[in-house]
Amino acid sequence: MLEGLLQGLETAISIQNLTMVVAGCLIGTIIGMLPGLGPMSIIAIMIPIAIKIGDPSAALILLAGVYYGAIFGGSTSSILINAPGIAGTVATAFDGYPLARKGEAGKALTIAAIASFAGGTVGAILLLGFAPAFATVALLFHSAEYFALMIVGLCAIAAFTGTGQVAKALMMTVLGLILATVGESAQFNAPRFTMGILDLQSGISFITLAMALFALPEALYLVLDPKRSSTGDNSSEKKIKGLRISGQEAKKIMPVIGRQSIQGFLIGVMPGAGATIASFLGYAVERNIAKGEDRAEFGKGSIKGLAAPETANNAACTGSFVPLLTLGIPGSGTTAILLGALIALNVTPGPRLMVDNPSIFWAVIISMYIGNVVLLILNLPLIPYIAKLLLVPRTYLIPFILFFTMMGSYIGQNNATELLLLIGMGVVATILRFARFPLPPMLIGFILGQMIEDNFARAMNLTDGVSFMWERPMTTLLLASAFFLLFLPSIRERLSKRKHQIVSKGD
Amino acid sequence: MPLDRAIAGIFILICLIYGYTAFVPMEEGLLPFELNMTFLPNTLPKYLSVLGIVIGLVIVLQPRYEGASDSDPNEIDQKKLLQYKFSQALFLLGLMLAYALLLRPIGFVTTTTLFLAFGGIILGERRLVILVSISVFTSLVLWYLVQEVLGIFLRPWPWFF
Residue B103 forms contact with A (CB below 8 Å):
yes
Task: Report the SS3 class of residue A37.
Answer: coil
Per-residue pLDDT at A480: 93
Residues forming beta bridges with residue A192, ordered by sequence position: A183
pLDDT recorded at residue B17 = 95
Average pLDDT of the residues in A28-46: 73
How far, in Å, CA of B97 to CA of A220, rounded? 14
At residue A27, what are phi and psi to the nearest 5 degrees? -60, -45
Question: A489 or B11: which carries more pLDDT confidence?
Answer: B11
With CB atoms and an 8 Å threshold, state whether A177 touches B48. yes
Residue A228: the pLDDT is: 63
DSSP assignments along A147-189, one per residue: HHHHHHHHHHHHHTT-TT-HHHHHHHHHHHHHHHTSEE-SSS-
Question: Diameter of chain B by CA atoms?
Answer: 69
**pLDDT at A337 > cutoff 70:** yes
Amino acid type, B95? L
Q: Which of A409, A309, A375, A373 is nearest to A34 (CA)?
A: A409
Q: CB under 8 Å to A237, separation ≥6 — which residues?
A: A103
Give the tens place of pLDDT for each residue, B45-69: 999 999 999 999 999 988 766 554 4
Interface of B with A in 72-101 (CB under 8 A): 74-76, 78, 84-86, 88-89, 92-93, 96-97, 99-101
Q: Residue B8: what pLDDT?
A: 93
Q: Say whether A171 and B39 touch across the interface (CB within 8 A).
A: no
User: How close B161 gets to chain A, by Cα (Å)?
Assistant: 20
The domain ranges of chain A are 2-506
Q: Do B78 and A420 touch (CB under 8 A)?
A: no
Give chain A's length: 507
3-class state of residue A192 by DSSP: strand
Closest CA to A436 of A178, A215, A217: A217
In the predicted model, is pLDDT for residue A189 greater than 80? no
The closest alpha carbon to A275, from A306, A324, A298, A309, belongs to A309
pLDDT at A176: 92
SS3 A140: coil
Of B14, B59, B101, the CB nearest to A168: B59
**Cβ <8 Å between B11 and A175:** yes
As a whole number of angstroms, the distance between CA A137 and CA A151 comes to 21
Q: Quote the number of domains for chain B.
A: 2
CB A475 within 8 A of CB A145: yes
Structure-derived torsion over alpha carbons of residues A114, A117, A119, A125, reported in degrees to the nearest 10 = -140
Kindly report the backbone phi and psi dihedral angles of residue A191, in degrees, each rounded to the nearest multiple of 5, phi listed first. -70, 140
Instruction: Kindly state whether residue B154 falls inside one of the protein's structural domains.
Output: no
Whole-prediction pTM: 0.76
Residue B157 covered by a domain? no
Give A400's contacts in chain B (Cβ within 8 Å): 116, 138
Q: Which helix (H) or strand (E) holds A191?
A: strand A191-192
Do B8 and B51 sit in the same domain of this protein? yes
Cβ contacts (< 8 Å) between A435 and chain B: which residues?
A: 2-4, 7
**How many angstroms separate the CA atoms of A490 and A499, rounded?**
14
In a domain, B80, yes or no: no
pLDDT of residue A106: 84
Is B63 in CB contact (< 8 Å) with chain A? no
User: Looking at residue A237, what is its pLDDT?
Assistant: 42
Nearest to A63 by CA among A106, A23, A36: A23
| Each residue's pLDDT tens digit, A347-360 | 777 667 777 777 77
Residue A213 has pLDDT above 80, yes or no: yes
Residue A174 burial (10 A CB sphere; 0-12, 13-18, 19+):
buried
B158: distance to nearest CA of chain A, Å?
16
Q: Is the model more confident about A223 or about A41?
A: A223
Q: Of A290, A282, A288, which Cα lies nearest the Cα of A307? A: A282
In a domain, B131, yes or no: yes
Q: Is residue B53 domain-shared with residue B105, that is, in the same domain? A: no
Q: Which of A45, A178, A188 sits opposite B52 (nearest CB)?
A: A178
Confidence of residue A429 (pLDDT cuts 50, 70, 90): very high
Interchain pair A464, B38: CB under 8 A: yes
- Residue A424, pLDDT above cutoff 80: yes
Contacts of A465 in chain B (CB under 8 A): 38
Cα A397 to Cα A131, A404, B89: the distances in Å are: 45, 10, 14
With beta carbons under 8 A apart, name residues in chain B contacting A150.
none
Task: Of A274, A267, A187, give the one whose Cα is nearest residue A455.
Answer: A187
Q: Tell me, what's the pLDDT at A235?
A: 39
Instruction: Give B96's contacts in chain A (Cβ within 8 Å).
Output: 402, 406, 419, 423
Do B91 and B144 have their domain in common? yes
Picking from A427, A448, A36, the residue whose alpha carbon sits closest to that of residue A207 is A36
Contacts A–B by Cβ distance under 8 A: 165
- Residues A423, B100: C-beta atoms closer than 8 Å: yes
- Count of all residues that appear for chain B in the document: 161
How far does the CA of residue A54 sit from the closest CA of chain B (Å)?
20
Q: From CA A330, how far away is CA A379, in angstroms rounded?
A: 29
CA distance A171 to A158: 9
Do residues B3 and B78 make contact, with C-beta atoms less than 8 angstroms apart? yes
According to the model, what pLDDT value does residue B58 have? 92
Q: Is residue B159 part of a domain?
A: no
Q: Which residue range(s) make up the domain with B140?
A: 86-149
Residue A356's beta-bridge partner residues? none
Instruction: State pLDDT tens for residues A296-311.
Output: 888 888 888 999 999 9
Is the CB of residue A240 less than 8 Å from the CB of residue A99?
no
Look at strands A191-192 and A183-184 and give their pairing: antiparallel
Sign of the alpha-carbon torsion through A432, A436, A442, A444: positive
Residues of chain B with C-beta less than 8 angstroms from the C-beta of A456: 39, 43-44
- Judge if B57 and B93 occupy the same domain: no
Answer yes or no: are the C-beta atoms of B56 and A175 closer than 8 Å. no
Q: Which of A181, A427, A465 sits opposite B93 (nearest CB)?
A: A427
